[in-house]
């Protein structure tokens, strides 16, 4: 049957109206909501993030975006290309002090940093590092503060060594090639060299600084303002993932399989597994409480290190409301 001109005109109007729906912000009912992209580095201090994304489901509301270094991750979060990320706690303090609208809403881990030296190096104490080259990820990394603490125990400071900033994935090769004499970083980049047999830990935070915190879940304030329910859901999953990871060895093995995949860390599962088991508390995730005194201690250490220019009020960079309002969610993986 041939359509009459009036019917044909009406059909064209309907098609034009349907095409205009996305432009008007009226997505069809069957469309999936846009995922919240959370940036992170392929480090085991960030392991709760892949677990949380996976636990939320393939059609869940979170997606992991892997970054190669802190500088590019910071830039993406500052400019709003992403709305959330696992960030270095002192870096968030500094950005908040510069009036970048960010807030820490959860911890991501505890412990997990190491200071590595070659197995054949005559370095047994921190005093043996005097005059040597030591790599750190960033002056904002809590790894750097850990190094300062360990040097101070032997009456030393960073002027006694040569500090080099280097991307963590490059550190094992630099140690192997003797381009550096030691490096301080988060896992699994210590474990990678140790498992290969040419490096050993000079110190681990699990032994020296049990309440160490470094990577924290950070979100933009406009996300808090516009989608507080989504932020709460993300915090719920991150906190639940931490408890799940520390609840049983089988859970850690499952996390190894998840994180090693191409869409997450894209790393050799043997290396991540080494971190999980040697020893089992090399990195911990079960205690993700936001403790004001710990953050303020870290701020003071950052001031001493010159990482921060001045004290930053706790309320300027932390929003505790989501941790206080946690609702348990199941982690079924």
pLDDT tens readout for residues 297-323: 999 999 999 999 999 999 999 999 999
DSSP, res 68 = S
What's the pLDDT at 167?
87
Residue 235, CB half-sphere, CA atoms under 13 Å: how many? Answer: 27
What's the pLDDT at 144?
96
- What's the mean pLDDT in 113-142? 96
Query: Per-residue pLDDT for 5 more than 70?
Result: no
Could you tell me where in the chain the CATH 3.40.190.10 domains are found? 36-110+213-324, 113-208
- Which tens digit of pLDDT belongs to each residue from 156-199? 999 999 999 998 989 999 999 999 999 999 999 999 999 999 99
Q: How confident is the model at residue 58 (pLDDT cuts 50, 70, 90)?
A: low
What's the pLDDT at 9?
37
Residues 6+ apart with CB under 8 A from 193: 116, 171, 172, 175, 176, 199
Q: How confident is the model at residue 253 (pLDDT cuts 50, 70, 90)?
A: very high
Q: How confident is the model at residue 21 (pLDDT cuts 50, 70, 90)?
A: very low
Q: Tell me which CATH code domain 36-110+213-324 carries.
A: 3.40.190.10
List Cβ<8 Å contacts ≥24 apart for 254-260: 254/333, 255/47, 255/50, 255/51, 255/333, 258/50, 258/51, 258/54, 258/333, 259/42, 259/44, 259/47, 259/50, 259/51
Question: % helix / strand / coil in the chain, to the nearest 5?
Answer: 45, 15, 35
Predicted model pTM: 0.87
The matching CATH number, chosen from 2.60.40.10, 1.20.1260.10, 2.40.50.140, 3.40.190.10, for 113-208 is 3.40.190.10
Mean per-residue pLDDT of the chain? 89
Question: Are the C-beta atoms of residues 223 and 84 closer than 8 Å to each other?
Answer: yes
Nearest one of 93, 89, 43 to 64, comparing CA atoms: 43
What's the pLDDT at 210?
84
List C-alpha distances in Å: 8 to 14, 21, 179.
10, 20, 75
Query: Per-residue pLDDT for 2 more than 60?
Result: no
The residue that leads in pLDDT, 205 or 211, is 205
Rounded Cα gap, residues 191 and 131, in angstroms: 25
Query: Per-residue pLDDT for 119 more than 80?
Result: yes
């Amino acid at each position: 049957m041939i359509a009459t001109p009036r019917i044909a005109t009406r059909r064209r109007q309907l098609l034009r109206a349907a095409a205009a729906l996305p432009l008007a912000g009226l997505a069809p009912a069957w469309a999936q909501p846009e995922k919240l992209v959370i940036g992170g580095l392929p480090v085991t201090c960030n392991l709760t993030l892949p677990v949380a994304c996976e636990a939320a489901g393939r059609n869940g509301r979170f997606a992991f975006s892997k970054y190669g270094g802190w500088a590019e991750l910071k830039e993406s979060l500052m400019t709003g290309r992403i709305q959330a990320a696992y960030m270095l706690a002192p870096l968030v303090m500094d950005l908040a002090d510069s009036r970048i609208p960010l807030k820490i809403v959860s911890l991501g881990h505890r412990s997990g940093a190491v200071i590595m030296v070659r197995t054949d190096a005559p370095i047994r104490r921190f005093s043996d590092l005097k005059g040597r080259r030591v790599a750190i990820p960033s002056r904002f990394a809590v790894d750097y503060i850990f190094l300062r603490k360990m040097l101070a125990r032997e009456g030393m400071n960073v002027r006694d060594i040569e500090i080099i900033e280097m991307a963590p994935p490059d550190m094992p090769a630099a140690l192997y090639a003797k381009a550096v004499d030691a490096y301080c970083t988060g896992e699994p980049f210590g474990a990678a060299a140790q498992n290969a047999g040419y490096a050993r830990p000079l110190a681990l935070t699990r032994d020296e600084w049990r309440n160490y915190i470094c990577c924290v879940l950070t979100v933009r304030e406009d996300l808090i303002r516009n989608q507080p329910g989504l932020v709460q859901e993300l915090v719920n999953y991150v906190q639940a993932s931490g408890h799940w990871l520390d609840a049983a060895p089988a859970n850690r093995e499952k996390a190894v399989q998840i994180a090693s995949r191409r869409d997450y860390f894209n790393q050799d599962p043997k290396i991540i597994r080494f971190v999980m088991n040697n020893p089992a508390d090399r990195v911990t995730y079960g205690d993700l409480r936001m403790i004001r005194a710990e953050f303020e201690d870290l701020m003071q250490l950052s001031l001493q290190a010159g990482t921060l220019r001045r004290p930053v009020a706790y309320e300027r960079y932390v929003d505790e409301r989501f941790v206080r309002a946690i609702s348990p969610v199941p982690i079924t993986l």
